[in-house]
Structures are given as structure tokens and as C-alpha cells.
Amino acid sequence: MHRSVATDKLFRMVRKLALALALVASTSVVLAGTPANAWSPPGTPGATGAGDPYYPLDGNGGYDVKHYDLALKYAPATDVLAGAVTIRATATQRLSAFNLDLDGLTIRSITVDGRSAKWSRAGTELTVTPRASLSKGHTFDTRIVYDGVPKVIHDPYLGDGGAFTTDDGVIILGEPDVAQAWYPSNDHPSDKASFSIALTVPKDLQAISNGVPDGRRTSKGWTTWRWEQREPMATYLAMAAIGKFDVKSYEKNGIRFVDAIDPALPPETYARVAKSFAREPEMLRFLSGYFGPYPFRASGGIVDADGEWDYALENQSRPIYTPQDFANQEDGDSVVVHELTHQWYGDSVAVQNWRDIWLNEGFATYAEWLWSEHEGLGTVQQNFDRLYATPATASLWKAKVADPGAPNLFISAVYNRGAMTLQALRLNVGDKKFFSILRTWAQSQRNGNGSTEEFTALAERISGKDLSALFTTWLYTPSKPANPA
């Protein structure tokens, strides 16, 4: 919210008075014999991290982002991304300075509430010092003008994320902390916000992003594509897909579907992608039968023929897939079900900390098993049994699923043993209670976050059972549990 001019004046008067009082106070301190400090504005700097044990520098403290407005122009000839992000946030403490996360790129200017601010950078931490401190509860707009070629962040354990140039554009995606490779942000899932994303590209290209399309305008050979993601979104789930796509946009069951398929795909792959995407409304209906209403007003999917990343990602309302995900029809359908399930578990209910990742991947894998059963391709129990048959020495049994360690966020045990944990829970509490737990989890944490502790507490509350032994065994003990069947 903006203060009126009159309130602003009053604020300045009060601040002057406070300054005068502070000077008097510091003078008396000097008289008392303590060394005088150089005057610094009241308030303290926000923390440099959100407190994630795996990624201590991800996110920041002292404020809560409400909205990101991204207005970026992409030039394929140079791969330069240039523009501005405006971040509306509310101070949760009196702030003398605050941090944003940004990896690479060149900052041209920063303003806070329209007045130029000082800033400095150290590694991925950007420190912004406004002219005057920001009082607790004050909602302020930080506008950062910047440009550069966004990088690919290479992670030896997790794989690559960031901006992948393609034959005709760029795809920007990644997990867990690559938002900072393309826009300054409070880059941790615990601080979700709504997004407006405007991408300006040469007029022969498409620019797809999250949420509902909000029109496009062409002028002097460039087209600006506007996207609105109103429901709160974790920073890593924002994406940009720029290139030549066949775009299909339609509304069904009150949801805006936008699918973008690269016409350069081999025809057989293209056909399989189109067939899987055509089933998205049916898949959402199937999944909402278990999890409750679909949480967003938009959906869809994106496949580019090119690109060097090797995973599908659950970008909010519009996942991105690789051509390899569609090597055959069943696997293609299954990965689409997986990423659509993340819309409930992962996106709408985001992890509180990254160690909670099984709440995303275990649930999405479990949904693949539900779909497999529905399609007559093998029951949930058969999927469980196939994995349970793995020898006790296998890596599946060596992981601590609910605290796998940062390098192991995406190891297969997080997916498979995570899903097995849910089946062990189902066998213990029965179908009715089990599906009530899944549904209540999605609904009670909707548009928010959730931790493993909150999930296990919910499961105990709904089942009326002490489940500590079950969860300790399946989530925290690095050995093969007894067969619950």
C-alpha cells in the first residue's frame, strides 16, 4: 500500500524528531564514557538466509514478498535478458537494509519506493540499503533494472538449472535455487508470492510463462507476452519458454489450458506429446478425485525439441518436459501425471525446507501408481512390491527419505521410498483415512507450505493412531523396513 502525501509528510516529521532524540541519546552515551558510534539509521539488516539447513544463503530475512512483477526483453541474437523486476514486500522487522538473491547479471539501478537506493553484492547476496529504514509492517516496492546473459548453474549432484539456450530461443527452469539466475528474488519456497510476467521477444517467437495469458502486443517487430500467476508461487516455479511453438489454448472445466509443443520435434515424439497433453483435463479430474479441487486457474505443458537439461519440472500451472520423457506413450502419460500431481504437492503446498522434498516427489510418484492402476498397467500394491523386492543392500534402503542431505534431493529413494512410505501408511490406516489425509493435507496447506512434522502430525490426528514407529522406520531409518503388507 502507498502512503498518501500528507502521511508521508507526517512520517518525515516524526522521523526528524526521532533523529533529534537519537542524537541527544547518543550524546548522553558519549558523556557516560562509551565510545560514540557513527550514526546509522535505526533498524537492523535483514538476515542473509531464510534459515534452510541445506541452503543457508537461499532466501532472506526481514520481509515477506507479496508480488513480483517481471518485465524482461530477450534478444536471441545475443541471449541478453534485459529489463526490470519490481518486488512488492512487507517488512517483518524494522529494516536498515535487506538482501535479495541474484546469481550473475548486471544491475543498472535500484529504487525503493521510487527513491534510489544503495546496493552492494557479494557472491549471490545482493544487499539493498534504502535511504531511510523501513518500518515493520511497511509495504515497499523495490525496483531493480538489470541485464545480462543468464547462466546455467551446474550442480554436480542435482544436475543443471537456469537459462538453457535452444536452437530458436531459451528455456529457463530449475530446482531448487535457480530463480536467482534470472531475476533478483527471495529465492526460497517459504516465501511465496503472486507474479506478473511480461516477456518481450521478436515477433516471430512465442513467449510462454506461468498462469493465465493476459494479452500480447506487437510493436516495431517485438511482441510482449503477458502472463498472470495470481495464486502464490515459490520462486523456483517461475519459468520462461521462448521459441517457436505450436501453442494450443483452450478452457475446460473452468481451467485455462495452454500447451506449447515445439514443431521441430520428431513427428512420432510430437504425436505422443500431443496425445498426453490432450489428456491433461482428464488427468486433473482423476487426480482431483483423490486430492480435492485443482488449486490453480491455469494448466498446460511445454516441450522444446532442444535443451540440455534432463528432467521434467513442475513449474506452477505449466510444467516443462523433455522429449525423452515421451519415449513411449505410457511413460509420457505417467510423467505428465507426475508433474500435474506436483501442482497440489510441491506447488500449492510447497516444502517448508528443502529436506521436506519427499512431500513433493513421494506424493507425485504415488500418483503415478494410482494412474497406473487406473490405466490397468499394474496396481499400486504391485508397484510397491516390485520395489520392496530390492535387496536389503540396495541404495533404496540407505537413504533418510525425510532428510536426505542437500546433494541427494533428487535421488530415486526420495521418489520411490517416499511413495512406499505412503503405501505403508495406507496399509496401516486403511483407504478411507489415508485418502482423507492426502486430501486434507492439500486443502489445509493450500497456497502455503508444509513440513514433514506437520504432515505426520496430520496423519496421526486423522487416523487417531500413534504412527511414530511407522514414520521413523520409513522416513528416517537407513535400513530395509519389515514388509507392512
At its nearest, how many Å lie between Zn ion and the CB of residue 357? 9
By C-beta, is 161 or 202 nearer to ligand ARG? Answer: 161
Binding site for ligand ARG (CB under 6 A): 158-159, 161, 175, 311-314, 338-339, 342, 361, 410
Q: Is residue 364 within the footprint of Zn ion (CB under 5 A)? A: yes
Minimal CB distance to Zn ion: which residue?
364
Stretch that binds Zn ion, among 37-45, 107-115, 321-329, 358-366 (CB under 5 A): 358-366
Cα separation of 210 and 217, whole Å?
A: 18
Picked from Zn ion, ligand ARG, none, the partner binding residue 290 (CB below 5 to 8 A depending on kind) is: none
At its nearest, how many Å lie between Zn ion and the CB of residue 335? 9
By C-beta, is 134 or 364 nearer to Zn ion? Answer: 364
By C-beta, is 112 or 367 nearer to Zn ion? Answer: 367
Picked from ligand ARG, Zn ion, none, the partner binding residue 58 (CB below 5 to 8 A depending on kind) is: none
Cα separation of 208 and 199, whole Å?
A: 8
Site string for Zn ion, 38-77 (x = CB under 5 A): ----------------------------------------
At its nearest, how many Å lie between ligand ARG and the CB of residue 342? 6
Picked from ligand ARG, Zn ion, none, the partner binding residue 173 (CB below 5 to 8 A depending on kind) is: none
By C-beta, is 81 or 173 nearer to ligand ARG? Answer: 173
Picked from ligand ARG, Zn ion, none, the partner binding residue 159 (CB below 5 to 8 A depending on kind) is: ligand ARG
By C-beta, is 155 or 403 nearer to ligand ARG? Answer: 155
Picked from ligand ARG, Zn ion, none, the partner binding residue 144 (CB below 5 to 8 A depending on kind) is: none
At its nearest, how many Å lie between ligand ARG and the CB of residue 288? 19
Cα separation of 153 and 58, whole Å?
A: 14
Stretch that binds Zn ion, among 110-118, 180-188, 364-372, 442-450 (CB under 5 A): 364-372
By C-beta, is 85 or 351 nearer to Zn ion? Answer: 351
Cα separation of 374 and 213, whole Å?
A: 33
Q: Which of residues 111-170 bind Zn ion (CB under 5 A)?
A: none
At its nearest, how many Å lie between ligand ARG and the CB of residue 263? 25
By C-beta, is 222 or 410 nearer to ligand ARG? Answer: 410
Minimal CB distance to ligand ARG: which residue?
159
Picked from Zn ion, ligand ARG, none, the partner binding residue 272 (CB below 5 to 8 A depending on kind) is: none
Cα separation of 53 and 404, whole Å?
A: 12
At its nearest, how many Å lie between ligand ARG and the CB of residue 396? 17
Cα separation of 115 and 131, whole Å?
A: 7
By C-beta, is 114 or 156 nearer to ligand ARG? Answer: 156
At its nearest, how many Å lie between Zn ion and the CB of residue 361? 5
At its nearest, how many Å lie between ligand ARG and the CB of residue 155? 6
At its nearest, how many Å lie between ligand ARG and the CB of residue 281? 20
Picked from Zn ion, ligand ARG, none, the partner binding residue 158 (CB below 5 to 8 A depending on kind) is: ligand ARG
Please give, one letter per residue, the 3-state secondary structure of the chain.
CCCCHHHHHHHHHHHHHHHHHHHHHHHHHHHCCCCCCCCCCCCEECCCCCCCCCCCCCCCCCEEEEEEEEEEEEECCCCEEEEEEEEEEEECCCEEEEEEECCCCEEEEEEECCEECEEEEECCEEEEECCCCECCCCEEEEEEEEEECCCEECCCCCCCEEEEECCCCEEEECCCCCHHHCCCECCCCCCCEEEEEEEEEECCCEEECCCEEEEEEEECCEEEEEEEEEEEECHHHCCEEEECCEEEEEEECCEEEEEEECCCCCHHHHHHHHHHHHCHHHHHHHHHHHHCCCCCCEEEEEECCCCCCCCCECCCCCCEECHHHHCCHHHHHHHHHHHHHHCCECCCEEECCHHHHHHHHHHHHHHHHHHHHHCCCCCHHHHHHHHHCCCCCCHHHCCCCCCCCHHHCCCHHHHHHHHHHHHHHHHHHCHHHHHHHHHHHHHHCCCEEECHHHHHHHHHHHHCCCCHHHHHHHHHCCCCCCCCC
By C-beta, is 103 or 361 nearer to ligand ARG? Answer: 361
Q: Is residue 351 within the footprint of Zn ion (CB under 5 A)? A: no
CA 485 to chain CA centroid, nearest Å = 36
At its nearest, how many Å lie between Zn ion and the CB of residue 327? 18
By C-beta, is 416 or 456 nearer to Zn ion? Answer: 416
By C-beta, is 144 or 364 nearer to Zn ion? Answer: 364
At its nearest, how many Å lie between Zn ion and the CB of residue 191? 21
According to DSSP, the residues that pair with 434 across neighbouring strands are none
Nearest 10 degrees: Cα torsion 63, 69, 75, 81? -10
Cα separation of 275 and 258, whole Å?
A: 14
Residues found near Zn ion in the complex (CB under 5 A): 361, 364
